[in-house]
Amino acid sequence: MLQQWALGNALRRIREERGMTIADVTTAMHERYGFGFSNAKLSRIETAKRSALPRDVQDLCALYGVSDMERERLMQLARSAREPERFQTGEDSRGYLWFITLERIATRIREYSSMFFPGLLQTAEYALVVENLASLSPQYYDDESSPAELPQTPSGRAALRIERQQILDQESRFQLHAIIDENAFRRRLPYPGVMERQLRHVLQAASRPNVRIQVIPYEVGLYPGAENTYWSILDTPPGEQHPPRTVYTESFTGAHILDSEAEVARMEEAFEAISRLALDTQSSRSLIDRILAETYDPS
């Protein structure tokens, strides 16, 4: 039911962004295809009271003129909605698909990361580095030699991460609170200049009124909640068909979705505890400035 709700909300939001009413859509669908949607059918799909067939989603995406990447994402979500138990428990790699669909309709995201910068804060070239880590040869780690030239055009997940960042422009309805371990700021990258530009990008993002960034300094030592290298708490609009908060986690074994009240409550408590251990926003900015000065402008 959760993925069905996520799909319905995504389709509703796209329709509203196009300035169309439900009646407008059903009329246009009949004119375009000569069959298809009634007002009641589309309304029930958007409110998750009935499932949408992948063909339904394909036709709607064609009418709305969405990008190929978004269309494929929504169609996969429609297919996976027919396997709710397997998908919800995080045993399916498409959990990532479900996460980014919810991310787009979230009103607030609280995320923690210990090794990488969260996707919403990555530059295009940093995203490319992350997606190409598996291609680095063992020699790079042995002698720190520079690998082959980094591809210039993001594709796949790297391109998707950049597309996802458009949500940050919706300052009146969306808030991001990211807590990042100092570890992520000091990691060596295989391509010169990428990390420096990434750090400056994070500083620029922190100046947004709807973005709050905290850094956990090394001095804190070990702390609870860091067992998973990345996790995110997504607050979504109130509704009867879904929980108000959902947790998405990533580890080496894959993505997992947590949606029970008890599980989400434990993650919220962990996030609040880590937030108290982290530097405040101004001190975090000062630390990032200091890392930039020490590492990239030692003079």
CB contact set of 162 (below 8 Å; sequence gap of 6+): 122, 124, 127, 154
H helical segments located in 144-193: 156-164, 182-185
Render pLDDT for 237-289 as a digit per residue (tens, 0 to 9): 776 455 678 898 877 667 787 877 888 899 999 999 999 999 999 999 999 99
Render pLDDT for 69-97 as a digit per residue (tens, 0 to 9): 888 888 887 887 665 443 343 444 456 77
What pLDDT is stored for residue 112 in this prediction? 97
Render pLDDT for 44-56 as a digit per residue (tens, 0 to 9): 888 877 878 888 8
Q: Comparing 187 with 297, which gets the higher pLDDT?
A: 187
Where are the strands (E) in the chain, listed by range?
A: 108-113, 175-181, 211-216, 230-235, 245-251, 254-258
Q: In what order do the strands lie in the sheet with 245-251?
A: 211-216, 175-181, 108-113, 230-235, 245-251, 254-258
What pLDDT is stored for residue 15 in this prediction? 92
β-bridge pairing 230-235 and 211-216: unpaired
Render pLDDT for 130-168 as a digit per residue (tens, 0 to 9): 877 766 666 666 666 555 566 566 566 677 778 888 889
Q: How far is 136 from 32, CA to CA, in rounded Å? A: 49
* Band of residue 298 on the pLDDT scale cut at 50, 70, 90: low
Render pLDDT for 205-246 as a digit per residue (tens, 0 to 9): 999 999 999 999 999 998 888 888 899 999 987 764 556 788
Q: What residue ranges define each of the domains in the chain, with the CATH number in brackets?
A: 2-82 (1.10.260.40), 101-296 (3.30.870)
Q: How far is 103 from 279, CA to CA, in rounded Å? A: 26
Count CA atoms closer than 13 A to 116's CA, side-chain side: 19
CB contact set of 63 (below 8 Å; sequence gap of 6+): 25, 28, 29, 32
What pLDDT is stored for residue 211 in this prediction? 97
